């Protein structure tokens, strides 16, 4: 039998062509196979181990399957979320959207709506940190709603999930929110074939692709959101790295003010946000 150090070294070498984190991927998969925390694995460098359970996991990753799907979970904003294909795997950059929402909430009992909720990671994270808020979430995919409800139950939060198309899923046309957030599809259709195979071969294209310019869903959300927001309400969305200027124009055209961006750790203008005027002129349609 080989030592942990040797197994990890060999696995990281084989995984190197697949992404930027081959060593981390190997560590997560081996720890999962052995049923131990990763921190304990790192202290076992010279210990010989049985690789029987690790080998099939490594082969799955070598076939480009995302680590999160293999493990069945993904860490997001201090919590572990259950994930399964083809529901979108939560990304680190999406945590900035949660940060922005929490900054706006500032311990106030506000009402929050999360559109295109997917695994529920945004809505549940907000509810977990601000239990006094009323949080609702929608998604058109029934599998996503099922998974989001499972994460909601597992983390003990009180999010209300509804299946349907954006605002149309809400049970009342009279609903109003202080904050609307969302991570809608925003990949340009022409960019699909350029994406890594762990995305193209495993994740739901409908959760990623949004027309020729990637703005199909964003246009609808920006256009409809003012009628669902309380005066002074916040709309914040994750967008693609080339989409801020075009999306800012949409925000401006819909009457939003204080339009700005929150950059991710790579310096990309990742989260766009704006507020509605302090007096209401529209009604939900």
Mean pLDDT of the chain: 96
Cβ–Cβ under 8 Å, residues 116 and 181:
no
Label residue 283 by pLDDT band (50, 70, 90). very low
Give domain limits for the chain: 4-63, 88-275
pLDDT tens sequence across 39-80: 999 999 999 999 999 999 999 999 999 999 999 999 999 999
Label residue 278 by pLDDT band (50, 70, 90). confident
Position 142 pLDDT exceeds 50 = yes
More confident call, 281 vs 74: 74
Q: Residue 119: name the closest of 149, 97, 92, 94 by CA.
A: 149
Label residue 82 by pLDDT band (50, 70, 90). very high
Return the sign of the alpha-carbon dihedral for residues 139, 143, 146, 151.
Answer: negative
More confident call, 281 vs 236: 236
Mean pLDDT within 118-137: 98
Within 8 A by CB and 6+ apart from 268, the residues are 93, 241
Which pLDDT score is estimated for 285?
Answer: 38
Return the sign of the alpha-carbon dihedral for residues 244, 247, 252, 255.
Answer: negative
Cβ–Cβ under 8 Å, residues 99 and 122:
no
Which pLDDT score is estimated for 279?
Answer: 64
Which pLDDT score is estimated for 281?
Answer: 47
Cβ–Cβ under 8 Å, residues 262 and 100:
yes
Position 211 pLDDT exceeds 50 = yes
pLDDT tens sequence across 250-269: 999 999 999 999 999 999 99
Mean pLDDT within 110-133: 98
CATH homologous superfamily, domain 4-63: Ubiquitin-associated (UBA) domain (1.10.8.10)
Answer yes or no: pTM beyond 0.85.
yes
Rg (CA), the chain: 21
Mean pLDDT within 112-118: 98
Cβ–Cβ under 8 Å, residues 251 and 274:
yes
- Residue 134, strand partner residues: 111
Percentage of the chain beyond pLDDT 90 is 96
Position 149 pLDDT exceeds 70 = yes
- Residue 82, strand partner residues: 73
Q: Residue 27: name the closest of 18, 17, 43, 199 by CA.
A: 43
User: Topology of domain 88-275, per CATH?
Assistant: Rossmann fold (3.40.50)
* Interatomic CA distance for residues 87 and 74, integer angstroms: 12
Percentage of the chain beyond pLDDT 70 is 98
């Amino acid at each position: 039998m080989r030592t942990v150090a040797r197994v990890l070294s060999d696995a990281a070498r084989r995984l190197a062509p697949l992404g930027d984190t081959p060593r981390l991927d190997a560590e997560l998969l081996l720890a999962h196979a052995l049923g131990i925390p990763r921190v304990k694995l790192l202290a076992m460098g010279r210990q010989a181990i049985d690789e029987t359970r690790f080998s099939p996991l490594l082969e799955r990753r070598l076939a480009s399957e995302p680590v999160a799907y293999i493990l069945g979970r993904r860490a997001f904003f201090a919590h572990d979320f259950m994930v399964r294909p083809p529901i979108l795997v939560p990304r680190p950059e999406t945590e900035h959207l949660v940060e922005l929402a929490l900054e706006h909430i500032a311990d106030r009992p506000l009402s929050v709506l999360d559109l295109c909720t997917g695994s529920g990671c945004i809505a549940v994270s907000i509810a977990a940190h601000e239990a006094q808020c009323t949080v609702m979430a929608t998604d058109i995919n029934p599998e996503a709603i099922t998974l989001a409800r499972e994460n909601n139950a597992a983390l003990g939060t009180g999010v209300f999930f509804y299946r349907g198309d954006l605002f149309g899923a809400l049970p009342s046309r009279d609903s109003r929110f202080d904050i609307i957030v969302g991570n809608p599809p925003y990949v340009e259709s022409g960019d699909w074939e350029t994406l890594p195979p762990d995305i193209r071969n495993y994740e739901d294209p409908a959760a990623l692709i949004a027309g020729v310019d990637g703005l199909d869903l964003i246009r609808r959300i920006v256009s409809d959101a003012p009628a669902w927001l309380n005066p002074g309400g916040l709309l914040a969305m994750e967008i693609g790295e080339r989409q801020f200027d075009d999306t800012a124009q949409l925000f401006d055209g819909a009457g939003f003010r204080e339009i700005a961006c929150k950059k991710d750790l790579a310096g990309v203008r990742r989260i766009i946000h704006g507020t509605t005027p302090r007096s209401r002129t529209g009604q939900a349609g």
